[in-house]
Amino acid sequence: MLWSHVMAALLEQYLAWRYGPLMAVGVLLVAAGHRARSSYAMCVGGVLVLLVLVSYGHH
């Protein structure tokens, strides 16, 4: 269990460095929504992640 938290934190840091803090927030929302079984949080996080990826692709 601890290992998955460490990996999630490292992934979040990498995505924040690579794509900006909005990507990290999106991934965090998806993970939190998945843990809490909240489809709303997962959808909002997924939309944030997609927005960042689409905007990053246009640079």
The per-residue pLDDT for 16 is 75
* 12: Cα separation from own chain's centroid: 7
How do residues 10-59 score in pLDDT, each as one tens digit? 877 877 777 777 787 888 888 888 888 888 888 888 888 888 888 877 65
The per-residue pLDDT for 28 is 80
The per-residue pLDDT for 37 is 86
59 secondary structure, DSSP code: -
The per-residue pLDDT for 59 is 56
What is the DSSP code string of 1-56?
-HHHHHHHHHHHHHHHHHH-HHHHHHHHHHHHHHHHT-HHHHHHHHHHHHHHHHHH
Considering only residues 8 and 1, tell me which one the structure prediction assigns the higher pLDDT: 8
The per-residue pLDDT for 58 is 63
